[in-house]
Amino acid sequence: MVIESVHAPSGDQRRALVEMYDAALPQVYGYLAARTGSIAVAEDLTSETFLAAAAAVRHGRVPDLTVAWLIGVARHKLVDHWRRSERESRSLAVIASEPDDVADTWDAELDALTARRVLAGLGPHHRGALTLRYLDGLPVRQVADLLGRTEGATEVLLVRAKAAFRAGYPTDTEEAR
Amino acid sequence: MNGPPTDPFDRLAAPIEPLHPRPDFAGDLRSRLVAALDLPVQLPERNPAMTIAATHTRATTLVPYLAVADAAGAIAWYTDVFGGAETMRVTGDDGRIGHAELSLGDVTVYLSDEYREYGVAAPSGGLSSVALYLQVDDVDAVFASAVGAGASVQEPLADQPDGDRRGTLLDPFGHRWMLAQPVERPSTAEYAARVAGSGYSVAAPAAPTGAIWAALNYADAPAGIAFLTDVLGFTAELVVADEADPTVIHHSQLLWPEGGTVQAGSANRPGNPYSERPTGAESLYLVTADPHAVWARCQAAGVTVLQEPTEPDYAPGTMVFSVRDPEGNIFSVGSYGGG
């Protein structure tokens, strides 16, 4: 018989990507599932992430093939997703609902589950900004890069997003717990 | 921006919690990933010393090559239930078993994981286009063992009109097995009689006449032909007797049921040089799957025995015996058919 499967030369990232698939999949999927709250969307974005990674690897554009790099690809796919959702759901009603009060001081102690629910109810642009800035803990400059905005515009977006979040968060925080 | 310690939104920080997606999704995406990467297949360099000589006998059996969704599980199941051994396993860098070889008794089975990107998929939905017919020594035990290990019965074990005790089941990996133990060997006519009225009719294609026809001379050709047909079991397809003297046989075509032709004729016919040979001087070997039946007829006819039934050392597991016809020609009858 002919053994058709032999070890590739070390450094072949294509094989490396297949080898890391089992370990990386739950990380990428877990990241996306927690941020989209939807199995279907998380699966779509997970597929997009790995297929984009495959394309990048084939073109030799991956300096460091790690799970962290894959999460970065997933984050880009997430931003693309919000951008699509925003285009689809953009309406006067959403924009009109943006609160004028943009005071950026609030000392409520957020309940994680309630916060997740409130976040899910926000428009894609607010949700995306808050997710990148706070769930992922990225600096404003990086959020701006991902969203394709200036840092100043991103600051404004974040302030508006937080105001929208506060507006949607139950006023009686004791009741919310 | 607010200082991090006082920003209530910092409570939203969500470190990644690994989450396993549906297995179907994970498997499908793996296949798509492997296909998208278009991984090169690298063959080891050929070792000239290992090159198979052109004269090497090729395998004469057809080896089933099964695709299963869980090759490792299938290897364990098949070897356990059918009492075999794994003799080869080739695992790909992606963790899939690309090739495995199993020895089940004296038969060989190949299998591999699914490679949907190459069109290799396990049977699904209880449908399978190929059945695996496997003869075992104790079909009741093996069948029960398979069912106990999770196979589903498609046709219960029963004595079949073709002589098998046989049943059909679907193994946990979707493959259909016909497990059989031969218990008798009915003739085609007997088989046909048993299934008459069942909605099926039985026919066996005519035995090949063979590419070599042996010619025998008999001083008493009608007696010789009677021996060949009635005792040994030839079928008289054609007998050409002399019009004036029917005891003179000019030509005959006697078919051996499992293939081959003998022409028996009268010796020393005037003007026929082929018939001018000594009688009783020939020796023929007849191949049959059931030499015992021929032996039984020879004993009943009281023929001269040259060699009692024996297991030849050149072919363990077969049987051969030799007798003489009324004029001294030797007929050896055996189940060894070459190979």
If one compares B192 and B187, the residue with the highest pLDDT of the two is: B192
The Cα–Cα gap between A116 and A162 comes to: 13
Q: Which residues in chain A are classed under CATH 1.10.1740.10?
A: 12-89
Structure tokens at B105: 């008794």
In this structure, is residue B37 part of a structural domain?
no
Amino acid of residue B215: A
Provide the residue range defining the domain that includes B231: 213-334
What is the per-residue pLDDT across B127-180, written as a single tens digit (0 to 9) for each?
Answer: 888 999 999 989 999 999 999 999 999 999 999 998 999 999 999 999 999 999
- In CATH terms, the fold of domain A12-89 is Rna Polymerase Sigma Factor; Chain: A (1.10.1740)
The Cα–Cα gap between B91 and B88 comes to: 10
The Cα–Cα gap between A68 and A53 comes to: 12
pLDDT of residue B59: 52
In this structure, is residue B256 part of a structural domain?
yes
Is B288 found in the same domain as B242? yes
Domains held by chain B: number? 2
Whichever domain contains B314, its CATH number is 3.10.180.10
CB contact A33 to B (< 8 Å): yes
Structure tokens at B93: 């860098």
Q: By the 8 A CB rule, do A102 and A70 touch?
A: no
Beta carbons of B99 and A22 less than 8 Å apart: no
Which residues sit opposite B264 in a β-bridge?
Answer: B216
The Cα–Cα gap between A56 and B40 comes to: 17
For chain A, the straight-line distance linking the first and the last C-alpha, in angstroms and rounded, comes to 66
Percent of chain B at pLDDT > 90 equals: 54
In this structure, is residue B143 part of a structural domain?
yes
Is B219 found in the same domain as B167? no
Chain B hits for A119, CB-CB cut-off 8 Å, are: 12
Beta carbons of B33 and A106 less than 8 Å apart: no
| CA-to-CA separations, B180 to B134, B155, B168, B190, B290, in angstroms, rounded | 6, 12, 9, 19, 19
B83–chain A nearest CA distance, Å? 23
Total-model pTM: 0.42
Q: Which residues in chain A are classed under CATH 1.10.10.10?
A: 91-170
CB contact B244 to A (< 8 Å): no
What is the per-residue pLDDT across B233-256, written as a single tens digit (0 to 9) for each?
Answer: 998 888 999 999 999 999 999 999
In this structure, is residue B262 part of a structural domain?
yes
Is B77 found in the same domain as B169? yes
In this structure, is residue B156 part of a structural domain?
yes
Quickly tell me which residue has 């026929």 as its tokens.
Answer: B272
Beta carbons of B37 and A30 less than 8 Å apart: no
The Cα–Cα gap between B329 and B15 comes to: 94
Chain A hits for B38, CB-CB cut-off 8 Å, are: 14, 58
What is the per-residue pLDDT across A112-157, written as a single tens digit (0 to 9) for each?
Answer: 778 888 888 888 889 999 999 999 989 999 999 999 899 999 999 9
- Residue that finishes a domain, picked among B147, B168, B185: B185
- Residue that finishes a domain, picked among B142, B166, B185: B185
Beta carbons of B88 and A15 less than 8 Å apart: no
Q: What is the 3-state secondary structure (H, E, C) of chain B?
A: CCCHHHCHHHHHCCCCCCCCCCHHHHHHHHHHHHHHHCCCCCCCCCCHHHCCCCCCCCCCCCCCEEEECCHHHHHHHHHHHCCEEEEEEEECCCCCEEEEEEEECCEEEEEEECEHHHCECCCECCECCCEEEEECCCHHHHHHHHHHCCCEEEEEEEECCCCEEEEEEECCCCCEEEEEEECCCCCHHHHHHHHCCCCCCCCCCCCCCCCCEEEEEECCHHHHHHHHHHHHCCEEEEEEECCCCCCCEEEEEEECCCCCEEEEEECCCCCCHHHCCCCCCCEEEEECCCHHHHHHHHHHHCCEEEEEEECCCCCCCCCEEEEECCCCCEEEEECCCCC
Q: What is the 3-state secondary structure (H, E, C) of chain A?
A: CCCCCCCCCCCCHHHHHHHHHHHHHHHHHHHHHHHHCCHHHHHHHHHHHHHHHHHHHHCCCCCCCCHHHHHHHHHHHHHHHHHHHHHHHCCHHHHHCCCCCCCCCCCCCCCHHHHHHHHHHCCHHHHHHHHHHHHCCCCHHHHHHHHCCCHHHHHHHHHHHHHHHHHHCCCCHHHHC
The Cα–Cα gap between B43 and B201 comes to: 51
ipTM of model: 0.76
Nearest to A26 among B19, B37, B42 (CB): B19
Is B324 found in the same domain as B217? yes
Structure tokens at B137: 């020594």
Dihedral angle of Cα B52, B56, B60, B63, to the nearest 10 degrees: -10
Is B70 found in the same domain as B180? yes
In this structure, is residue B111 part of a structural domain?
yes
What is the per-residue pLDDT across B23-47, written as a single tens digit (0 to 9) for each?
Answer: 888 888 988 888 888 776 544 555 5
With a CB cutoff of 8 Å and minimum separation 6, the contacts of B174 are B68, B69, B122, B123, B124, B126, B128
Best residue of A49, A134, A166 to probe chain B, by most B CBs closer than 10 Å: A134
Structure tokens at B332: 């050896």
pLDDT of residue B22: 86
Nearest to A30 among B16, B94, B98 (CB): B16
Confidence of residue B3 (pLDDT cuts 50, 70, 90): very low
Confidence of residue B111 (pLDDT cuts 50, 70, 90): very high
pLDDT at A99 over 70: no
pLDDT at B118 over 90: no
**Mean pLDDT confidence for B275-304:** 93
Is B241 found in the same domain as B179? no
The Cα–Cα gap between A168 and A112 comes to: 14
If one compares B284 and B208, the residue with the highest pLDDT of the two is: B284
Beta carbons of B92 and A5 less than 8 Å apart: yes
pLDDT at A1 over 60: no
CATH of the structural domain A91-170, one choice from 3.30.930.10, 3.90.380.10, 1.10.10.10, 1.10.1740.10: 1.10.10.10
In this structure, is residue B83 part of a structural domain?
yes
Confidence of residue B181 (pLDDT cuts 50, 70, 90): very high
Q: By the 8 A CB rule, do B206 and B188 touch?
A: no
Number of residue pairs across A and B with CB atoms under 8 Å?
130
Query: What does residue B197 show for φ and ψ, rounded to 5 degrees?
Result: 85, 0
Quickly tell me which residue has 């030369």 as its tokens.
Answer: A9
CB contact B13 to A (< 8 Å): yes
Beta carbons of B94 and A155 less than 8 Å apart: no
Which residues sit opposite B251 in a β-bridge?
Answer: B240
Query: What does residue A59 show for φ and ψ, rounded to 5 degrees?
Result: -95, 10
Cβ atoms within 10 Å of A93's Cβ, excluding its own: 9
With a CB cutoff of 8 Å and minimum separation 6, the contacts of B75 are B86, B89, B97, B100, B102, B111
